[in-house]
Chains A and B, each alone.
Chain A
Amino acid sequence: EVQLVESGGGLVQPGGSLRLSCADSGFTFSNYGMNWVRQAPGKGLEWVSYISRGSIAIYYADSVKGRFTISRDNAKNSLYLQMNSVRVEDTAVYFCARGTPPRYCTNGVCPPDDWGQGTLVIVSS
């Protein structure tokens, strides 16, 4: 069974940093691209970032570009999101999501397939 478990969320002050982790099991982690998606309170889903299987292709939403860094450790079956210079508007539940199998990817990006339960990040002074 595919399992994705996020951790690392919490309360952080504006301008601060936080590192989210996603521990994955039940599948061959190194075979899949991975996504981060967030949902602010009362808002819809927003795609944040994508990393390919071998970390060659990395993409970000404009809203986080230059502040957030996605990475992965295939030996540890883990995905990360380093969040720097956080803003109040970054407050959200952050989900990690496994990408679809490669044959269902487009232009080198694999959209979210299986998702974790999410971790809440609150940016407030």
Chain B
Amino acid sequence: DIQMTQSPSSLSASVGDRVTITCQASQDINIYLNWYQRKPGRAPNLLIYDASNLKTGVPSRFSGSGSGTDFTLTISSLQPEDFATYYCLQYENLPLTFGGGTKVEIK
């Protein structure tokens, strides 16, 4: 199975901060990586697909980059509604595997 190592596991940030979350795959996954946002009691929300493509309707402050084994999700200016847990997912190979999650909390 492909292991997805996500870091940090949690971070504290202020509104307006730039936030970066990384995900490392245990083997080359090309660009086959998605980023999801999960808020308590809410359905997960796809933000980025194919490593760097913003899903329609997702604010442009979210961006993704990377290919191969190293990937990054960046929030350029953190907003109050962005406090949530973020997950990466690789779909290059079965089984699909998620990173462990990054909880973004208010400083």
Contact = CB atoms under 8 A, between A and B. Distances in A.
B98 A44 contact: yes
A104 B52 CA distance: 13
Taking residues whose C-beta sits less than 8 angstroms from the other chain, chain A's interface range is 20 to 34
B43 A44 contact: no
- SS class, residues of chain A in contact with chain B: strand
B87 A44 contact: yes
Interface in A90-125: 95, 97, 100, 104, 106-107, 109, 111-118
Interface string B70-98: 00000000000000000101011111111
Nearest to A46: B98
Taking residues whose C-beta sits less than 8 angstroms from the other chain, chain B's interface range is 20 to 34
Interface string B1-15: 000000000000000
B44 A50 contact: no
Given A95-B43, A95-B44, A106-B32, A59 B94 contact: yes
A59 B93 CA distance: 11
Nearest to B49: A104
Given A95-B44, A118-B43, A111 B100 contact: no
B85 to A, nearest CB: 8
Nearest to B41: A117
Contacts of A46: 98
A47 B49 CA distance: 17
A61 B34 CA distance: 19
Contacts of A44: 87, 98-101
Contacts of B98: 44-47
B19 interface: no
A115 B101 contact: no
A-B CB proximity, top 3 nearest: A47-B96, A111-B91, A115-B43
